């Protein structure tokens, strides 16, 4: 059975001073536990610290392996560049929209790449074909693509725990292209909310110019699926604490400490994304405007220390301490300070007791991927521990706001609104409180972290490892056979598509000129006795003649509308009766679209009209293209045309024209006894599916995708085949 490899930057382990290792209960570890998987599991990640500080690395490694963990050790420089630098000081602030806090350094980026590569190597060593690899978070954006390059067929999933910021922010990153392409190495990419997925797709479009659907996209000949998987909290863990026989006593002891005050609870890691200064401003405003409640309420501010020693974080701590002191100084009295700042972590049982006792819980981050505190608070609210049900105040910028619609939603920047929400929460009647909590609890308990993990992994399991990896066939025997035929029967026809077959695609089509070897190869092949060669393309006559003229090769342009028989110098129409009157009606629509969409233009071919939007704003261009398609498809119902949405184009072409019809014509005109066609896309299938009578017919598909061709290869494979054929034919 395949195994599951969990990959996160930090491992859920603790390493003691003597080097011995044990597992800890992280959020992800508990999610996996709750998912009840039968698969064997392995964790890959960083055990923390710098490798230079471990006295006996081998012993730590052995210990970790014994508890199902494969460590990725980092040097001190890597910890600085990859972790503190690129992950925490570039990506973290940017993903949370704090562009002015983001710092950029070439050295950090180099370390980020190197460490992602290190992870890839450890995984490749540990994985077997068919394993599921589930990668977590922004530290490892490059890893999915790095795993693709390896020899093992893996099912690769990626989940982002932070928000995916707007593409307008993301595009600021100097390394945006590589980061996005790195992620697209995954088979499945998951986000907490629909918005994050939307931003990601928009980044693909804005940065790479790649269009995608909500469900995903095709990339590199395989499907990359995308989806929304909101994470749940550790319901089982909190349930265990609450069911513990000592829990009621613990609650009673905290209740005594509260001495009748109404607790307004805040729990967070002290990070600038959590908006603690803004929250303090709202508390101050509340205390100012509600003097009658000053003595009744106690704001409990549990702030778990974070990244101590980093200046920004130390400054934040100082700022918070100062402001708490100032507010208490101003609004406190002997025996009561309205804010209690607890700058440390608490055991889970205490946390559960605080959640159970709180009358209000304030979750007011400036940005947060999800925020589990909100869900944990709701879950721990039980009638047996508190007389009054609690109220959740929730920032609209937390991912959780999408799910918890019955909370009091606030804009954390709006100090007046948050202060008013605190007052409203305190005054809310019990039946309303109960009703709101009930609605949210019902949902949460069913959507716990185990359910989340199971859902994601079930979806990941549908991936088809190896999909898109095309099976390249050995074409030497085919070259030998064609050589024999040309000698015995003469009249061998070769029909070769250009873009994607003789030459790779490039972003700007005009730059797809032949490489230096191609003209010589085509000239040599066409010059062999008994051989007729045609390049069959969708390109215009002008392009083909400019780049492939004078080689003794016949040229077929515009998908089979026109052709230039070598040696004649005259372009002819395959079918002079093709009706192109429809162009007048359609041209007007396309020109109107160009006028309204900067960066687009209309190309007029003799048998087709093409609207190009490669240079337009990608999102705007795509939106207009979709509108045009809808409009043209209904117009085209009564016209002899087909409408096709291609690579940044909308093309309307005559139904009476195809590459297949053109090749069929030439097979007869040249009296071919044997023929070979090669192409890469749907328009080439019209030649591939020909079955000409009396002709030994061979077809080759270049690249991935469905085909009816008998042979398959890639661009370099076709090139070697043609070179070999040249040798055989000249022999």
- Give the CA angle between residues 171, 176, 177 to the nearest 5°: 120
Torsions phi, psi for 59 (to 5 deg)? -65, -45
Q: How many CA atoms are closer than 13 Å to the CA of 634, on its beta-carbon side? A: 6
Residue 96 or 712: which CB sits closer to ligand GDG?
96
Q: How far is CA 557 from CA 548, 571, 635, 731, in A?
A: 12, 10, 26, 32
Does 68 bind ligand GDG (CB under 6 A)? Our answer is no
Q: In this chain, which of 54, 104, 346, 620 binds ligand GDG, going by CB under 6 A? A: 346
Residue 27 or 490: which CB sits closer to ligand GDG?
27
CA distance 212 to 371: 28
Interface with ligand GDG in residues 15-44 (CB under 6 A): 27
Active-site annotation holds for 497: yes
Q: In this chain, which of 47, 81, 93, 369 binds ligand GDG, going by CB under 6 A? A: 369
Q: Which stretch binds ligand GDG (CB under 6 A): 199-207, 344-352, 479-487, 566-574?
A: 344-352
Q: Which stretch binds ligand GDG (CB under 6 A): 306-314, 365-373, 524-532, 630-638?
A: 365-373
- Binding pattern for the stretch 296-315 against ligand GDG, x by CB under 6 A and - elsewhere: ------x-x-----------
Three-class secondary structure of residue 398 per DSSP: strand
The beta-strand segments (E) located in 201-310 are: 216-219, 222-228, 262-269, 297-304
CA distance 354 to 364: 17
Q: Which stretch binds ligand GDG (CB under 6 A): 126-134, 256-264, 343-351, 637-645?
A: 343-351
CA quadruple 188, 189, 192, 195: dihedral positive or negative? negative
Q: Which stretch binds ligand GDG (CB under 6 A): 117-125, 346-354, 414-422, 646-654?
A: 346-354
DSSP annotation of 37:
-
CB-CB contact of 610 with 627 (8 Å): no
Residue 349 or 635: which CB sits closer to ligand GDG?
349
Does 370 bind ligand GDG (CB under 6 A)? Our answer is yes
Shortest CB 346 distance to ligand GDG, Å: 4
Q: Which stretch binds ligand GDG (CB under 6 A): 245-253, 280-288, 347-355, 639-647?
A: 347-355
Q: What is the CA radius of gyration of the chain?
A: 33
CB-CB contact of 685 with 500 (8 Å): no
Does 351 bind ligand GDG (CB under 6 A)? Our answer is yes
Does 368 bind ligand GDG (CB under 6 A)? Our answer is yes
Q: In this chain, which of 70, 78, 359, 376 binds ligand GDG, going by CB under 6 A? A: 376
CB-CB contact of 194 with 154 (8 Å): no
Q: How far is CA 84 from CA 10, 150, 662, in A?
A: 13, 28, 62
> How long a stretch of residues is the chain?
731
Residue 302 or 522: which CB sits closer to ligand GDG?
302
Residue 249 CB coordination number (10 Å): 11
DSSP annotation of 344:
S
Residue 230 or 389: which CB sits closer to ligand GDG?
230
Torsions phi, psi for 413 (to 5 deg)? -80, -15
Q: Which stretch binds ligand GDG (CB under 6 A): 139-147, 319-327, 362-370, 571-579?
A: 362-370
CA distance 497 to 536: 5
Does 348 bind ligand GDG (CB under 6 A)? Our answer is yes
Shortest CB 326 distance to ligand GDG, Å: 25
Residue 143 or 548: which CB sits closer to ligand GDG?
143
Does 419 bind ligand GDG (CB under 6 A)? Our answer is no
Shortest CB 382 distance to ligand GDG, Å: 17
Query: Per the residue annotation, which of 497, 524, 664, 681 is the catalytic one?
Result: 497
Shortest CB 162 distance to ligand GDG, Å: 5
Q: In this chain, which of 72, 74, 363, 372 binds ligand GDG, going by CB under 6 A? A: 372
Interface with ligand GDG in residues 145-204 (CB under 6 A): 161-162
Q: Which residues contact 601 (CB under 8 A, 6 or more apart)?
A: 594, 611, 612
CB-count exposure of residue 498 (10 Å: 0-12, 13-18, 19+): buried
Nearest CA to 294 among 342, 255, 325, 332?
Answer: 332
Q: In this chain, which of 265, 352, 373, 657 binds ligand GDG, going by CB under 6 A? A: 373
Q: Which residues bind ligand GDG (CB under 6 A)?
A: 27, 161-162, 231, 267, 269, 302, 304, 345-348, 351, 368-373, 376
Q: Which residues does the annotation mark as catalytic?
A: 497
């Amino acid at each position: 059975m395949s195994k599951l490899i969990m990959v996160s930057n930090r491992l859920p382990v603790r390493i003691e001073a003597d080097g011995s290792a044990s597992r800890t209960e992280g959020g992800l570890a508990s999610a996996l536990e709750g998912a009840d998987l039968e698969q064997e599991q392995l964790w890959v990640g960083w055990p923390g610290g710098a490798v230079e500080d471990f006295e006996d690395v081998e012993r730590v490694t052995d210990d970790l392996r014994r508890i199902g963990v494969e460590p990725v050790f980092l040097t001190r420089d890597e910890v600085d560049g990859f972790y503190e630098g690129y992950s925490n000081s570039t990506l973290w602030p940017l993903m949370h929209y704090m562009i002015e806090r983001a710092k950029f350094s070439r050295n950090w980026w180099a370390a980020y790449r190197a460490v992602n590569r290190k992870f890839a190597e450890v995984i490749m060593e540990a994985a077997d074909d068919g394993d599921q690899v589930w990668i977590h978070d922004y530290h490892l954006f490059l890893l999915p693509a790095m795993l693709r390059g390896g020899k093992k067929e893996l099912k690769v999933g990626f989940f982002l725990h932070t928000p995916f910021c707007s593409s307008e922010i993301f595009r600021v990153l100097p390394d945006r292209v590589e980061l996005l392409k790195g992620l697209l190495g995954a088979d499945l990419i998951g986000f907490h909310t629909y918005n994050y997925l939307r931003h990601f797709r928009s980044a693909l479009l804005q940065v790479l110019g790649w269009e995608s659907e909500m469900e995903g996209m095709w990339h590199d000949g395989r499907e990359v699926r995308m989806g929304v998987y909101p994470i749940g909290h550790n319901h089982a863990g909190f349930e265990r604490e609450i069911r513990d026989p000592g829990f009621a006593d613990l609650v009673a002891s905290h209740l005594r400490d509260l001495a009748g005050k109404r607790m307004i609870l805040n729990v967070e890691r002290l990070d600038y994304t959590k908006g603690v200064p803004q929250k303090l401003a709202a508390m101050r405003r509340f205390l100012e405007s509600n003097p009658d409640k000053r003595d009744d309420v106690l704001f409990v501010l549990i702030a778990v220390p974070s990244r101590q020693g980093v200046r920004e974080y130390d400054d934040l701590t100082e700022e918070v301490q100062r402001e708490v002191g100032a507010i208490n100084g101003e609004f406190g009295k002997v025996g009561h300070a309205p804010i209690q700042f607890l700058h440390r972590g608490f055991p889970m049982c205490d946390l559960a007791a605080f959640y159970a006792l709180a009358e209000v819980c304030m979750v007011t981050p400036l940005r947060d991927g999800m925020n589990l505190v909100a869900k944990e608070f709701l879950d721990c609210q039980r009638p047996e521990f508190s007389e009054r049900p609690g109220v959740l105040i929730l920032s609209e910028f937390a991912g959780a706001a999408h799910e918890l619609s019955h909370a009091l939603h606030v804009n954390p920047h709006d100090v007046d609104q948050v202060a008013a929400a605190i007052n409203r929460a305190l005054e809310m009647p019990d039946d309303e409180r109960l009703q709101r909590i009930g609605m949210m609890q019902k949902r949460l308990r069913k959507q716990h972290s185990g359910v989340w993990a199971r859902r994601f992994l079930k979806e990941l399991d549908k991936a088809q490892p190896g999909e898109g990896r095309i099976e390249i066939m050995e074409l030497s025997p085919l070259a030998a056979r064609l050589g024999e035929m040309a000698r015995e029967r003469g009249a061998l026809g070769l029909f070769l598509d250009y873009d994607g077959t003789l030459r790779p695609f490039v972003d700007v089509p005009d730059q797809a000129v032949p490489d230096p070897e191609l003209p010589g190869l085509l000239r040599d092949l066409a010059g062999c006795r008994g051989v007729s060669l045609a390049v069959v393309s969708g390109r215009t006559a002008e392009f083909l003649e400019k780049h492939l003229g004078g080689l003794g090769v016949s040229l077929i342009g515009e998908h089979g509308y026109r052709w230039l028989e070598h040696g004649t110098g005259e372009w002819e129409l395959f079918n002079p009766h093709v009706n192109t009157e429809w162009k007048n009606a359609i041209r007007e629509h396309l020109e109107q679209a160009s006028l309204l969409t900067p960066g687009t233009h209309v190309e007029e071919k003799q048998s087709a009209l093409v609207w190009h939007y490669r240079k337009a704003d990608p999102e705007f261009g795509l939106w207009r293209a979709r509108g045009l398609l809808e409009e043209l498809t209904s117009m085209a119902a009564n016209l002899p045309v087909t409408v096709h949405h291609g690579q940044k184009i909308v093309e309307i072409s005559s139904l009476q024209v195809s590459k297949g019809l053109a090749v069929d014509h030439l097979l007869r005109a040249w009296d071919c006894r044997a023929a070979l066609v090669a192409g890469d896309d749907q328009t080439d299938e019209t030649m591939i599916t020909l079955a000409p009578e009396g002709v030994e017919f061979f077809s080759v598909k270049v690249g991935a995708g469905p085909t009816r061709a008998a042979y398959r290869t890639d661009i370099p494979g076709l090139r070697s085949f043609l070179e070999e054929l040249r040798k055989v034919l000249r022999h």
